[in-house]
């Protein structure tokens, strides 16, 4: 290929791509002007951090086929490096502007990616998953052992307002932090998207799909996995640095197994098959965690159930569900299936109500029984120990289940009819 002069290459301006990225930047810039409450700003900042983290995770899971159970190790250690750097800068021992702190976190994450990645990427598939779990536990137990670096139970606190204000920016107010996070989020998003088009990104896809053939054409699959993991750890570290600035505290939880589980769940719910999937996942996940945890103590149960249902029935995540509808809309068939969606959705709501009643009443009777069994759900007061609410719940389960079974089959039937038409049209 070296003989072909570069000016012969056909490379039109990709207008749609510029439009989408420009729009994304515009939306991120405009959001704090629309939602000005402090709560909304914090939520959006958390979403920005989660987006970077989930995208870096999908570099492994979606693009290279590496299922990691210990990704929080890289974001967490990156956050620790960042928090120490910020504290040193705060006392004037080193010079470093706060705006560049995510980069420090990223370098910290990448360093540990080089170190741990060498061990974990020796294997692939199921064994890789287990080793990442082991490394995750190793780091989590270390976090309680080395108090000087990890700060023990209380973690390490910091203050993001250091030095003289630059152009009036102190990072004291939440909005300024939001814009810093939005900036790094956009840059990381663009870089990670660009990475997926580099030779390494492409070979990572090949190693995911068929490692044997990738080796036959001369690539060391272990090295491809290792390099990918280092880059992924770098972006995870950026997410860690951003969360340091956002929360001004880093604790052992940041490297813990639960944190790793959350990023996996968020990424998968969004969809691992498409680049923008994890972005949706991170936004939806953060919103649900923050919103649900305010309403119910059993929010983790709902989250787990949602995740398991997604694995079973929509393994492509929300992104794949959206793509399916886009296909229907583009071919003007959406109207035909929409009423069936509505019917299935309505019966699904009955089932959801039954589920919520069951879980909340069980919770009231078992865990919160010290406060009595009287409870208040959606503005209705009732006694969770009485027979009537349970009878209503069982009724909801039966009716909802029966209706859902019928409507679900209708959706599936219409769906396959439409697909048969598509195939006919093609032939």
Per-residue binding letters, 37-56, with other proteins (x by CB under 8 A): --------------------
User: How many CB atoms are located within 10 Å of the residue 134 CB?
Assistant: 14
Decide if 200 contacts 227 (C-beta within 8 A): yes
CB hemisphere CA count around 278 (13 angstroms)? 27
Q: Does 124 bind other proteins (CB under 8 A)?
A: yes
The correct pick among 130, 206, 351, 399 for binding other proteins (CB under 8 A) is 130
How near is the Cβ of 8 to other proteins at its closest, in Å? 42
Q: Does 115 bind other proteins (CB under 8 A)?
A: no
From 115-123, 234-242, 377-385, 403-411, give the range in contact with other proteins by CB under 8 A. Answer: 115-123
Q: Does 137 bind other proteins (CB under 8 A)?
A: yes
The correct pick among 17, 122, 223, 419 for binding other proteins (CB under 8 A) is 122
Give the phi and the psi of residue 250 in degrees, each rounded to 5. -130, 125
Q: Does 67 bind other proteins (CB under 8 A)?
A: yes
Q: By CB under 8 A, what part of segment 174-203 binds other proteins?
A: none
From 105-113, 123-131, 246-254, 318-326, give the range in contact with other proteins by CB under 8 A. Answer: 123-131
Residue 243 structure tokens:
């969360």
Q: Does 172 bind other proteins (CB under 8 A)?
A: no
Per-residue binding letters, 251-290, with other proteins (x by CB under 8 A): ------x---x--xx--x----------------------
Q: Does 317 bind other proteins (CB under 8 A)?
A: no
Q: Does 127 bind other proteins (CB under 8 A)?
A: yes
**Exposed, middle or buried by CB within 10 Å (0-12, 13-18, 19+), for 33?**
exposed
Decide if 386 contacts 312 (C-beta within 8 A): no
Q: Does 359 bind other proteins (CB under 8 A)?
A: yes
Cα–Cα distance, 368 to 378 (Å, whole number): 18
Q: How many residues bind other proteins (CB under 8 A)?
A: 47
The correct pick among 57, 69, 80, 171 for binding other proteins (CB under 8 A) is 69
How near is the Cβ of 243 to other proteins at its closest, in Å? 22
How near is the Cβ of 60 to other proteins at its closest, in Å? 11
Q: Does 312 bind other proteins (CB under 8 A)?
A: yes
Q: Does 362 bind other proteins (CB under 8 A)?
A: yes
Give how far the C-alpha of residue 5 lies from the chain's centroid of Cα atoms, to the nearest Å: 42
How near is the Cβ of 320 to other proteins at its closest, in Å? 12
How near is the Cβ of 52 to other proteins at its closest, in Å? 22
The correct pick among 219, 287, 288, 301 for binding other proteins (CB under 8 A) is 301
The correct pick among 22, 38, 125, 339 for binding other proteins (CB under 8 A) is 125
Do the strands 374-377 and 249-250 form a parallel or antiparallel pair, or are they unpaired?
A: unpaired
**Residues in contact with other proteins by the rule CB under 8 A:** 65, 67, 69, 119, 122-127, 129-131, 133-138, 141-142, 145-148, 257, 261, 264-265, 268, 298, 300-301, 303-305, 307-308, 311-313, 315, 359, 362-363, 366-367
């Amino acid at each position: 290929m070296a003989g072909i002069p570069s000016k012969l290459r056909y490379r039109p301006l990709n207008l749609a791509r510029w439009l989408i990225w420009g729009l994304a930047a515009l939306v991120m810039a405009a959001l704090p002007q629309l939602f000005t409450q402090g709560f909304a700003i914090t939520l959006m900042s958390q979403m920005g951090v989660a987006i970077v983290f989930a995208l870096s995770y999908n570099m492994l899971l979606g693009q290279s086929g590496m299922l990691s159970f210990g990704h929080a190790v890289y974001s967490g250690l990156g956050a620790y490096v960042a928090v120490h750097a910020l504290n040193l800068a705060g006392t004037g021992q080193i010079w470093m502007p706060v705006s560049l702190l995510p980069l420090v976190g990223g370098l910290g994450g990448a360093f540990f990616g080089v170190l741990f990645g060498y061990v974990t990427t020796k294997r692939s598939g199921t064994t890789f998953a287990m080793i990442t779990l082991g490394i995750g536990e190793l780091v989590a137990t270390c976090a309680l052992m080395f108090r000087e670096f990890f700060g023990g139970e209380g973690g390490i606190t910091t203050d993001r307002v250091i030095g003289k204000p630059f152009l009036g920016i102190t990072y004291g107010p939440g909005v300024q932090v939001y814009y810093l996070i939005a900036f790094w989020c956009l840059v990381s998003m663009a870089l990670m998207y660009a990475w997926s088009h580099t030779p390494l990104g492409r070979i990572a896809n090949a190693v995911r799909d068929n490692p044997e053939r990738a080796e036959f054409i001369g690539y060391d699959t272990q090295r491809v996995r290792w390099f990918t993991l280092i880059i992924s750890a770098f972006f995870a570290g950026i997410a860690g640095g951003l969360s340091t600035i956002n929360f001004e505290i880093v604790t052992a939880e940041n490297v813990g197994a639960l944190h790793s589980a959350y990023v996996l769940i968020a990424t998968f719910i969004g969809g691992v098959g498409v680049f923008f999937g994890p972005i949706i996942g991170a936004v939806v996940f953060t919103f649900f965690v923050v919103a649900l945890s305010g309403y119910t103590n059993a929010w983790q149960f709902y989250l787990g159930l949602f995740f398991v249902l997604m694995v079973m029935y929509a393994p492509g995540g929300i992104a794949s569900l959206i793509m399916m509808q886009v296909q229907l809309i583009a071919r003007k068939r959406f109207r035909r299936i929409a009423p069936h969606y509505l019917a299935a959705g309505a019966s699904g709501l009955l089932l959801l109500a039954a589920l919520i009643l069951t879980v909340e009443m069980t919770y009231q009777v078992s865990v919160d029984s010290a406060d009595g069994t009287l409870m208040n759900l959606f503005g209705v007061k009732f006694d969770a120990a009485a027979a009537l609410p349970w009878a209503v719940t069982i009724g909801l389960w039966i009716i909802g289940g029966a209706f859902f079974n019928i409507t679900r089959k209708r959706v599936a039937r219409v769906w396959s009819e439409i697909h048969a038409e598509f195939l006919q049209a093609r032939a």
